[in-house]
A and B are shown apart, each in its own frame.
Chain A
Amino acid sequence: MRLKVMLATLQIDWWMVLVAFLLVAPMLHAQNKLTVSVTTPLPTLTAVGNSSDQQTMAVTTSWAQGGRNWWGNVTTCVYMTAPLTGTNGNPDTIQPANIMVTATGIGTTSIVSSGGCGAGTALQVNSTFEIFFWAGSLTVPMQFQAVNTGNLAADTYSGTINIIVATP
């Protein structure tokens, strides 16, 4: 009864309430789906002299937020938690600080950074503003290169790149 009185006082019709409800309801029941995957795997880097060649990797973020937000930034970050290691007891390693990342807007910088995407040492590679942020996808290419490789023993060094994306 009080609501009815208030609506009458404000001269709001029931159809207006219905429109407002349709606008808000999806947000109250938003099913947030956010995924990130590597769509262009990183080829093996070949070290000659004191640095390797540069190779490209791409990650694609997809989201379906059911009207959760109208806009927001999709932030893409990468990080490593351990050095690249060799084989057969080779004691040499490639430290994460010697893995360089190149991307639009950040130039070339070490993968060891601070606080990208709210993750420890993650490097923020990209942050793209998206409007009508209901559903969509974003692909971010980035190049990788190993540096200070001149004193490494001949071997194949392997490690893991972690990718994290964050949205509002």
Chain B
Amino acid sequence: MKYTKVAVLLAVFALATVPMFGQVSATDTTPINVTRSESITISVTTDLPTLTIAAGAMVSDTKDVIVSSAWNLKQTRTSGVQICAYASGDLVGVSAGTTGNVDIIPVNNIYITPDGGSATALGSGTACGVAGAVQFKNYVTASAAERKNFAGQSDTIPVQVNLGATDVAADDYTGTLNLIAYSN
């Protein structure tokens, strides 16, 4: 009888501990956001060879600098990607410090030939949002495909020096040509 009593109480206890109802659940939601940043790059793949102004000439030969550019733009960038060039200063003779050559080749005597255009002096424009920059090309970015992951675009930019009416002493003249890929 004692065991029966214990068994009855255990049965009550067991009933209490067994899940008596079906599974219950609760829910919530939360936002998930992933940002892929814009990118635009340009790099020189072939440096500009030395331009040569022949004795007695005022215009150099034309040589090419080759650049490679890539971009991944937001959908709102529909105005294109511009490839531009500018010089950060006049070309200075390398002998200036030793032989006193004071001649320079001014920025606006350096020309590039835009894609489909004619030779244009650097220092004369404001392309790519930079004073003195000249646009070489404007890539259309009207479609989603043109804005997205445009990689390995290569441009060959012809460069030439035209001294105009002002000759310079025989020397090597050096400076820096800056190249820009730009979208606004």
A: residues with CB less than 8 A from B are 10-12, 16, 20, 23-24, 27, 30, 32, 34-38, 41-42, 44-48, 52, 57, 59, 61, 67-72, 80, 84, 86-92, 94, 99, 117-118, 144, 146, 149, 151-168
Contact = CB atoms under 8 A, between A and B. Distances in A.
18 contacts: A41-B30, A44-B35, A45-B33, A46-B36, A87-B75, A118-B23, A149-B36, A151-B149, A153-B73, A154-B36, A154-B38, A156-B34, A158-B32, A159-B32, A159-B33, A160-B29, A167-B24, A168-B23
B9 A16 contact: yes
Nearest to B37: A154
B34 A34 contact: no
B45 to A, nearest CB: 22
Contact of A163 (B28, B35, B73): B28
Contacts of A80: 32
Contacts of B74: 88, 153-155
Interface residues of B, number: 41
Given A61-B26, A118-B23, A154-B39, 19 more contacts: A10-B5, A23-B16, A32-B24, A34-B26, A36-B26, A44-B34, A45-B34, A46-B35, A46-B37, A52-B34, A72-B19, A86-B75, A118-B25, A149-B36, A155-B75, A157-B35, A160-B30, A166-B23, A167-B25
B76 A160 contact: no
A65 to B, nearest CB: 9
Interface string B43-80: 00000000000000000000000000000111110000
A20 B36 CA distance: 63
A68 B75 contact: no
Contacts of A166: 23-25
Interface of B: 1-2, 4-5, 8-9, 12-13, 15-21, 23-39, 72-76, 144, 147-149
Contacts of B17: 69-71
B32 A59 contact: no
A59 to B, nearest CB: 7
- Closest 8 A/B residue pairs (Cβ): A88-B75, A153-B148, A154-B38, A47-B36, A70-B17, A168-B19, A166-B25, A44-B33
B34 A88 contact: no
Given A99-B32, A155-B75, A164 B4 contact: no
Contacts of B16: 23-24, 27, 67, 70
B35 A42 contact: no
A159 B75 CA distance: 19
A161 B32 contact: yes
B28 A23 contact: no
Contacts of A159: 31-33
